[in-house]
Amino acid sequence: MPKMLVPLAEGFEEIEAITIIDVCRRGNIDVTVAGVTGMTIKGGQGIEVAADCLIDSVDINSYDMITLPGGLAGTMVLSESKNVQSILKQMKEQGKYIGAICAAPLALHTADVLNEEFTCYPSIENQIRLDGYHQEQSTVIDDKVMTSQGVGTAIDFALKIVWQLQGESSFKALKENILA
């Protein structure tokens, strides 16, 4: 079973995080929620989520993918976290999957792991770069880096993660099951 790491920091976007975690678990991906700012992390709308572990205790060699939910406040913490930035760089060096949604592609840019083609929440691209940005696409896959625009694209993004890690038949079965 593929394993995915989802780091959460104070101010994360709840719909994106929970959708990614839920859909990927339904798609038979072992998802670990790692707290960057503690074991209980409060999202941007005040919803608290309990982490499975702290980011400092993660052995990235056991993961196939890391996915960052957005939320500007949480993204800024992910961008400034030496540990998260190091994990992103190591995952890229090891040829593993990397995902980010909403504002979180900014954290990928900070780590210098964002590929040429990407999408993000409108206006965040100005903090990254304009070349390679796809405003019209809800989810962009460029080699092993996946990006998506935001809350409204979270289910599509999570389903495409399932496709990448579990294959087309798992993707189709899950998509039909959740009526997406």
Question: Which residues form the catalytic set?
Answer: 102
Length of the chain: 180
Tokens representing 120? 């993000």
Strands 40-42 and 48-50 turn out to be antiparallel
Tokens representing 159? 């389903």
